[in-house]
Amino acid sequence: MNESINKLKILYDNWSKEKALKVAPLAQSGSYRKYFRINGKEKTAIGVFNPDKKENLAYVTFTKHFLRKKLNVPALFAQNLKENIYLIEDLGNTTLFTLVEQQNSNGKLSNRIIDYYKTALEHLIRFQIDGGKGLDYSVCYPRDQFDKQSILWDLNYFKYYFLKLAQIPFDEQKLEEDFTSFVKFLLSTETKYFMYRDFQSRNILLYNDELYFVDYQGGRKGALQYDVASLLFQAKTNLAYNTREELLSFYLTQLGKRIKVNRKEFKKYYYGYVLIRLLQTLGAYGFRGYYENKSHFLLSIPYALKNLRWLVEKNRIPPQLSELKKVISSILESEELKKFSTAYTEIKLKVTINSFSYKSGVPKDFTGNGGGFVFDCRSLDNPGRFPEFKDSTGLDENVILFLSKKEKVNDFMNSVNSIVGGSVTNYITRDFKNLMINFGCTGGQHRSVYCAEKLANHLKKNYDVLVKVNHSQLSNKGIN
């Protein structure tokens, strides 16, 4: 990465005719692209490194085309696609999502934010119609259309990275048959327009009170409905449903000024595209959250499920998808998934203490904090080595007595209490809501369980916090 940064500095120097004085990485999103804010004495730019050459070609080609069409996208300052880098205009950090997050209260938005959404939808129509005219679709990556193959990729993404990882049961053959039927339904509407693919509030920047649009490199031909669904049903914006309907009506009115629109026909397919978008995003949350262990992605799951539940309650899911409907019901009833919805609902600091076996791996943090303390108990005397403790656990008196008499165990716990106590005090002062603490040992049965319980009792006695203890290995054996 240092090599790429140096190449970006050179590109910046050549473009700006001044020296790059500061290169600061920007927060990474769900992609593998790396963004940097590069400042010189007078000029600034956003440097991008992306190892995907085809995606870079699509972005650069689209950007040049959109600028010619006078669409609001960042200016392209310089490029070196051989080195997988380019420079674009710095339009600041304020996104439409930032504004929604600051002002949203139970899905209710200010008139100002509603107006921004309407403006974004007007721009969307220009991308879909004007942006699509004369566009070189041969550079689209990975497909030039949101066709059968593209939709099946999204559905299988959902199946393998969400359903399987969240342990949702399904009949493979019946679900595949539903996927085929669903694809046929979605593609029976008009699909000749430019489909932005990721038209959502995080990709809409507010700069000098103008909206600008980024991350369109995945664009291709497709249906008009997809991008509207992406914006209005974006999970964490949590828009009120009447607001969504108001904005949809506005979009259709504005669209009707450009092309002939049959509202009933549009909405017939619209909710199908809402569903495919929701399934695709759940797949992304599963891949990033479960598979890549980027647990903050999992925090969006409750919002996506809320939207999914609305589709079910409003009978918006195509009736022929019987197995998919069963799967969705299982998702909405899943106890595993419900834990995400309570991640931030506690008023007090919630301390989650886990015991685990290193053979099974460190427990995941579902609060978005990226994990907390991990204490290794394997250096402590192991009761599991003695026959009389084989069938006992750290919850049993004989094991408790054995470990409590060990000076090394007591010293270990005194150190843990001191370290954790400092963090608890700090977290309470800063109004943090979650702290995770893990104790691991070989089998997750004796030492880690004992230490977890000891810490839990210490915290309950000395701090005004909520404490939850999980013993994963004991649960697996039906002990706890």
List per-block mean pLDDT (blocks of 10 residues) for the chain, which spans 480 residues: 92 97 84 92 97 97 98 98 98 94 69 96 98 97 96 97 94 97 97 97 96 98 98 93 96 98 97 98 91 78 93 93 97 86 61 94 79 93 92 94 96 95 88 90 95 95 89 69
Can you give the pLDDT at residue 479?
54
User: Side chain identity at 312, as an amino acid letter?
Assistant: V
At a CB cut-off of 8 Å and minimum separation 6, what does 293 contact?
364
The beta strands (E) that lie in 278-379 are given as 350-357, 373-376
Peptide bond into 302 cis (omega under 30): no
At a CB cut-off of 8 Å and minimum separation 6, what does 300 contact?
235, 236, 281, 285
Per-residue 3-state assignment (H helix, E strand, C coil) for 388-424: HHCCCCCCCHHHHHHHHCCHHHHHHHHHHHHHHHHHH
Helix (DSSP H) and strand (DSSP E) numbers for the chain: 16, 13
Q: Which helix (H) or strand (E) segment is 249 a member of?
A: helix 241-256
Q: Considering only the C-alpha atoms of the chain, give the largest distance between any 2 of them, rounded to a whole number of Å.
A: 82
At a CB cut-off of 8 Å and minimum separation 6, what does 160 contact?
283
* Closest residue by Cα to residue 445 from 389, 362, 375: 389
Half-sphere exposure of 322 (CA within 13 A, CB side): 5
Phi/psi for 10 (5° steps) reads -65, -45
* Closest residue by Cα to residue 449 from 440, 462, 457, 458: 440
Give, as one character, the DSSP assignment of residue 365. Answer: P
At a CB cut-off of 8 Å and minimum separation 6, what does 466 contact?
346, 348, 349, 350, 351
Q: pTM, whole model, 2 decimals? A: 0.75
Parallel, antiparallel or unpaired: strands 434-441 and 466-471: unpaired
Q: How far apart are CA 334 and CA 298, in angstroms?
A: 14
Q: What is the dihedral of CA 215, 46, 236, 189, to 10 degrees?
A: -10
Which domains does the chain possess? 2-88 (3.30.200), 96-340 (3.90.1200.10), 342-476 (no CATH)
* Closest residue by Cα to residue 9 from 21, 25, 20: 20
Q: How far apart are CA 157 and CA 278, in angstroms?
A: 12
User: Side chain identity at 150, as an amino acid letter?
Assistant: S
Residue that is written with structure tokens 């066709």 in the block: 147
